[in-house]
Amino acid sequence: MGIEIERKFLVQNEGWRGLAEGILYRQGYLASRPGCTVRVRVAGNQGYLTIKGSTAGISRAEYEYGIPLEDAAQLLDRLCQLPLIEKTRYRIPVASGLVWEVDEFAGENQGLIVAEIELSQADQSIELPDWIGLEVSDDPRYFNANLVNHPYCRW
């Protein structure tokens, strides 16, 4: 079983800009219920199908599989719940060997900028750059699956 251990933060200033090139993401959900989400994603020119389990603290089961780009695009356009999540992701490596992923949302979630960092263990210490703000790891409003039903523009 794959395990995702991730902390999520709001971005509080522009200090991250220019540290990485962005990749456009489109993603949608085939199923989303408590305890399980099934997501389709196009990231650049790659397609993915991802199944995620319940969140316990900052950890959850995650299974991700590459799928043909054309299949992913058709699933997004024909079967996923609307609105789709649209964002540009910037991957910013840091000296510790970790990578910050900054997501700048567009569409219905325009104005939201969130930074995530994946860890190898839940109690792993990290250094927070000065552009990192409030931690929202435990706030379900910021889960991408919830941004479909409750987009940031309606908060």
At residue 101, the pLDDT reads 98
Q: Let me know if 6 is exposed, middle or buried by CB neighbors in 10 A (0-12, 13-18, 19+).
A: middle
Q: What pTM did the predictor assign?
A: 0.93
pLDDT of residue 2: 87
Distance CA 149, CA 81 (A): 9
Residue 70, token pair as written in the block: 């054309």
Q: Distance between CA 144 and CA 109 in Å, rounded? A: 10
Q: How far apart are CA 80 and CA 111, in angstroms?
A: 23
Which residues constitute the domain of residue 115? 3-154
Of residues 42, 53, 44, the one with CA closest to residue 85: 42
Q: How far apart are CA 113 and CA 149, in angstroms?
A: 18
Residue 113 · residue 105 · CB < 8 Å? yes
Average pLDDT of the chain is 95
Query: Active-site residue among 25, 29, 90, 142?
Result: 29
Contact in structure between 151 and 143 (CB atoms under 8 Å): no
Q: How many CA atoms lie within 13 A of 110 on its CB side?
A: 3
CATH number of the domain that 120 lies in? 2.40.320.10
Are the C-beta atoms of 48 and 64 separated by less than 8 Å? yes
pLDDT < 50 positions in the chain: none
25 catalytic per annotation:
no
Three-state DSSP class for residue 54: coil
Q: Into how many domains does the chain fold?
A: 1
